[in-house]
Amino acid sequence: MAATPAVRVLEQGKVLHTLHPYDPEHPSDQGHGEAAVAALGADPDQVFKTLVARVDGALTVAVVPVAGTLDLKALAAATGGRKAVMADPADAERATGYVLGGISPLGQKKALPTVVDDSALGLDTVLVSAGRRGLQVELAPGDLIRLTRARTAAIGR
């Protein structure tokens, strides 16, 4: 399996991580994050989805548990902005270099401001997309925050 940009970032940073491949095919009523949770038998509070929003027009990455949803007002507040809306999927793909359902917070084509939900801080490890549908990476939340230069805030609900 060829390494994704996300996996290369982890390897170059010598970050302890575990890859979790799974079959990305899922029923249409299930989101990509939920499909990963189901396929891996993982805790939905430990698996985080990577969402791209626009805060006052600027693309911003939000990393929140699959079990919850993104609070756009909280994201705007966490970044010092006034208004946040979900980004157009094509803009998210273009800026990150990943396809929807496989957007990783790591190794993006353009390093975007990133906010990780503070619930990650209470976990030993978190799972995020490794840069393609059907591949999650498990790592310590501190490593995720450091490598993405993220701030943490209560942005999930």
Put the strands of the sheet holding 84-86 in their side by side order. 84-86, 48-55, 58-65, 114-117, 151-153
The strand pair at 126-132 and 58-65 is best described as unpaired
H/E stretch holding 38 reads helix 32-40
- The whole-model pTM stands at 0.92
Q: Can you give the pLDDT of all 157 residues of the chain as single tens digits?
A: 568 999 999 999 999 999 999 887 755 456 777 878 888 888 889 999 999 999 999 999 999 999 899 999 999 999 999 999 999 999 999 999 999 889 999 999 988 999 999 999 999 999 999 999 889 999 999 999 999 999 999 999 9
Environment class of residue 128 by beta-carbon count within 10 Å: exposed (0-12), middle (13-18) or buried (19+)?
buried
DSSP 40: H
Q: Which CATH number fits the domain 5-153, given the four candidates 3.40.50.300, 3.40.30.10, 3.90.960.10, 3.40.50.1820?
A: 3.90.960.10
CB atoms within 10 A of CB 1: 10
| Amino acid at residue number 27 | P
pLDDT value, residue 140: 97
Q: Residue ranges per domain, the chain?
A: 5-153
